[in-house]
Structure 1
């Protein structure tokens, strides 16, 4: 009865007591120093024009030297963009890292992320405030927002806030868009002769903030394991009743990493990968006919049930729907038109595609738009689209088949989950090495941890200039520097394995049931890694 009176579950209490192995980095962080590369920095002409100061930042390596302290520092931190499990541990790692250099250093958390940074909303963080969030999901320690820092007025206001608080550094915990903010602020500060360092860490459940320097993003492992448990439950239900065909849409507008990871974790009958569909140049009709024939083959072998995974951004990778979306984006960028006039301006191919869509999907494509007028694929029910069109194809080919589709979208259910031990350790390590970059006055870098597939004690901290992860792309009518979004590569070992298993998974019930994330018990059970990371290491 005593436990029932507490405002924390017994499980939450146990997670608050867990201390990640990567806290061991605190023992040596004071003796870590930076060596600038002697190779002159280089970047594209377009980036040079937009980020002239950042493009002069050198590569760095970390070496062990004499242990040195720092004067008391005042550092700002914000959680930016969508939630990702492990974000709280970055703040805690940063706090502990700063105190390792000087116990009198202070940490200020900006409330509601970039919005708080713009409006000057913050709170002074101490142990009593932050340790209550140790190893917990969500971003409720500080909250978050998705504001893009683009205008001179915003940047000027932020610089004034930073100077008013007499901050010695700023850390932004975020994904592609958030760390574009990091780069733009670092550039603005340098342009205005402000030596305050601004750095970022890679956080996103989509897993698409990934490149030569970043092995995987914080929160991706936890998110995919939560989805995988849910998918496993659906597959077990399907095996039990032997009746339904589950169409499951997963997060990932730009890249299919979540679907790839969950496909490896669960081995459903069909796993669609957007990038692979794009290479094959399949039309919507071709894709739906292929799925229909696959499900009919199962039906004829006595298996009138299945589970299929669908990436959120699939509709932008199918050849004819991609063309339709591209044409609509261009038309709506120029002017607002009534539906009839809009359809008149479409090419014959795009118009044919539009008229082939179920009415509710066509309506979503016309109305789901961002501030630049581009179609928001996250608002399009691709799972419903495929279920409807596949059903039509099945009834054409084999009218006797009783086809019962069930559509699901697994989205925000995972982003505030309790972080896996892997993400807990990853967050702490990122925070500690962020402290190192800020203490050593390094600006314009993304903090990274490498050797993530290895035991925690073999992890290596590092970082790379943000401009190396950027390119210039069109936003509306403006060319803007942005962090590149990574995509699943066609020759990725993880993808090749998934494709190789495709026939086996389709025809047989080779389902894999990961179960819920485990936090206590055997090391092999509680310290797992993303399967995509293991395949690519």
Structure 2
């Protein structure tokens, strides 16, 4: 009998068939889960009302390049109960709309499509939704598929963008825009919905401008796990608190990090260094820290804002300004980390959890200067020589040789060279892998690709080096519990109180630190002889040796990168409700002929009953930004606000969460990502904290003394 013949009955068994299905009970639960609908979107008939009270700064370049959509204002989806028969007929006509995923995946994208699809079919059953395959490439190549009910039902509340897949191609030339317009016209579409991040919504604005004369509308939907699409009007009113996908990714990361916290506190020998996505903003790091109560977490925006007050004061005394006092250095950052590690070790905790953002190096002063200079040099080379820098100089040595040559040439011809001899000297002091990382090929947008650089290795190598120096100085030691020391010595028939004064700084403390001068068995013996506890020719008692050994730290790390796993996780309940209503909002914007608007939900921090579907003018969110060595008009990213409640709470709690004292850590378990659970958090912690109105609390306290 062959293996195939023998295995066939087992494979055909009902239990085997059930256990090997592509779906399980939780998947089915997700696919049948029904997100809540905002009341106004559930009525069917709506109107768009202008909200002129929300104003934005007027960017002259945006006005010049996007004249057709620059005067859009914020619009609110409102109920229209008195619609005439003719208006109702026009509103409820069959519609043909296209949808595009653009950029990296984010949890909830499929639910955006579900909301859009359901709204279209509710409006008129003959409406057709077309999905462009592989993102913008599908739009350029006229590669699309009609999205069916079966497709939508199979992907409801599921992670990823696998229904129609995604891509990163930019439609950034008039030729590409003409081709995209031709595709839309050939399908007789009245508009397209672009689901993407800041660059994708920038693209949506330019397409809206280009398509406007043809009567084809473009609506954007804010997506990015990085959390850096947030919109406030000039008066500080929050119109878009967070993009979709952020909460789900942060919860996914936090759950994994909390598992590491359990492991770290169990075998007490590793520091887990967790790098999370976030190239230019640290929103994910902040949310993950609040979710897990990690011992250490670094917010890049805070590092960039750091000022060395002592250095600044010293320079001011001489009437000078020390510009190196602004912005933290790699050396200083490594010292801050070392201080925290040493403090925890003093209480027996030679382990811990550290979270850093993927783009932390971009917030480090000297590294940022290198990146800016190298971006300019590479861009100038490509422009002047009409060649690709990375193809022309494929190896690190060839790139370094070019830098050395231009540094000499610039010194000869420029009074203020971009790359000078000092830059060359400092750059050559960096490890080879870091040099290669700084010279790595830029991404599609001209950005430095931090995900390809082992950020954590650069920082932790410096930490290890300094910890080694502290260990040699006797300043890095593991504290030994007084109770453990007492019982250990007595169980070996030695008097703990007799040896303690010779061994420890403070023999009466809860955690005992071996004296700094005792750094080896030789110095240990000298201390015991000096204290009269040992004769010069006697051996150190075994239990005393063991106590000394346990005080010697062995610093070990485990590194982890959280990024793609969070992009592809299933959406949380919050993101399920959020994205479904974003999809419906996109439909209503489209149905009312709006273009150049980004679908958004206002009041996300409030109870669901207060959520408001709106459209935000994308052109008003644009600013000039350096890309590939030149200024381009793009949608502005939102950084962590250091004055926000969320950051202030984190700052106020981090000393407690460092737990550099006797007692347990304060690790928090966020729990699994669920879409239908009473225990599921209904919004990000950062969102909840930022919604706290301290003025209201103060007034309440004043009224109730």
Alpha-carbon distance in structure 1 between the residues aligned to 2:614 and 2:224: 19
Distance verdict in 2 for CA 1:91–1:518, change over 3 Å: closer
Alpha-carbon distance in structure 2 between the residues aligned to 1:20 and 1:338: 53
Alpha-carbon distance in structure 1 between the residues aligned to 2:205 and 2:242: 20
Alpha-carbon distance in structure 2 between the residues aligned to 1:95 and 1:373: 35
- Structural mapping, 1:239-250, within 5 Å: 239-250=265-276
Offset, 1:131: 1.3
- Structural mapping, 1:186-205, within 5 Å: 186-190=208-212, 193-205=213-225
Highest Rg: 1 or 2?
2
- 1:481 is matched with 633
Matched, 1:328 2:374: yes
Alpha-carbon distance in structure 2 between the residues aligned to 1:48 and 1:357: 44
Distance verdict in 2 for CA 1:181–1:322, change over 3 Å: same
- The question of whether the paired residues in 2 share the 8 Å contact of 1:41 and 1:57 is answered with no
Alpha-carbon distance in structure 1 between the residues aligned to 2:99 and 2:73: 24
Offset, 1:382: 0.8
Alpha-carbon distance in structure 2 between the residues aligned to 1:138 and 1:374: 24
- 2:561 is matched with 409
Alpha-carbon distance in structure 2 between the residues aligned to 1:349 and 1:301: 43
Offset, 1:309: 0.5
Matched, 1:431 2:583: yes
- The question of whether the paired residues in 1 share the 8 Å contact of 2:657 and 2:666 is answered with yes
Matched, 1:53 2:68: yes
Offset, 1:102: 1.9
Matched, 1:260 2:414: no
- 2:461 is matched with 388
Q: Deviations over 1:319-374 (max 9, x none)?
A: 11111222222222222464134146234654454344332222222224335765
- 1:206 is matched with 226
2:439 counterpart SS class: helix
Matched, 1:511 2:533: no
- 2:448 is matched with 375
Q: TM-score with structure 1 length normalisation?
A: 0.95
Matched, 1:71 2:93: yes
Matched, 1:456 2:608: yes
- The question of whether the paired residues in 2 share the 8 Å contact of 1:324 and 1:351 is answered with no
- Structural mapping, 1:524-535, within 5 Å: 525-535=679-689
Offset, 1:454: 2.5
Alpha-carbon distance in structure 2 between the residues aligned to 1:211 and 1:430: 15
Offset, 1:498: 0.8
Q: TM-score with structure 2 length normalisation?
A: 0.73
- The question of whether the paired residues in 2 share the 8 Å contact of 1:321 and 1:350 is answered with no
Structure 2 portions without partners, runs of 5+: 1-14, 233-238, 307-326, 382-388, 390-397, 408-418, 473-551, 692-705
Distance verdict in 2 for CA 1:256–1:168, change over 3 Å: same
Distance verdict in 2 for CA 1:471–1:59, change over 3 Å: same
Q: Which range is displaced more, 452-461 or 245-254? A: 452-461
1:409 counterpart SS class: strand
Offset, 1:465: 0.6
- The question of whether the paired residues in 2 share the 8 Å contact of 1:278 and 1:317 is answered with yes
Alpha-carbon distance in structure 2 between the residues aligned to 1:368 and 1:204: 23
* Aligned pair partner of 1:318 in 345, 349, 364: 364
Q: Deviations over 1:236-270 (max 9, x none)?
A: 10000000111111000010000000010011111
Alpha-carbon distance in structure 1 between the residues aligned to 2:261 and 2:424: 38
Alignment size in residue pairs? 533
Alpha-carbon distance in structure 1 between the residues aligned to 2:145 and 2:94: 18
Alpha-carbon distance in structure 1 between the residues aligned to 2:68 and 2:627: 22
Distance verdict in 2 for CA 1:24–1:526, change over 3 Å: farther
Matched, 1:283 2:320: no
Alpha-carbon distance in structure 2 between the residues aligned to 1:24 and 1:266: 35
Distance verdict in 2 for CA 1:338–1:436, change over 3 Å: closer
2:304 counterpart SS class: helix
Alpha-carbon distance in structure 1 between the residues aligned to 2:54 and 2:278: 36
- 1:305 is matched with 351
* Aligned pair partner of 2:77 in 28, 53, 62: 62
Matched, 1:229 2:255: yes
Alpha-carbon distance in structure 2 between the residues aligned to 1:39 and 1:463: 12
Q: Deviations over 1:169-208 (max 9, x none)?
A: 1100111111111001001112xx1111101010111111
1:29 counterpart SS class: coil
- Structural mapping, 1:119-158, within 5 Å: 119-158=141-180
- The question of whether the paired residues in 2 share the 8 Å contact of 1:197 and 1:444 is answered with yes
Alpha-carbon distance in structure 1 between the residues aligned to 2:135 and 2:253: 26
- The question of whether the paired residues in 1 share the 8 Å contact of 2:447 and 2:627 is answered with no
Alpha-carbon distance in structure 2 between the residues aligned to 1:372 and 1:90: 26
Offset, 1:209: 1.0
Q: Which range is displaced more, 413-422 or 504-513? A: 504-513
Q: Which range is displaced more, 450-459 or 144-153? A: 450-459
Offset, 1:64: 2.4
Matched, 1:444 2:505: no
Matched, 1:9 2:165: no
Alpha-carbon distance in structure 1 between the residues aligned to 2:128 and 2:347: 66
Aligned-CA RMSD value: 2.0
Alpha-carbon distance in structure 1 between the residues aligned to 2:338 and 2:639: 27
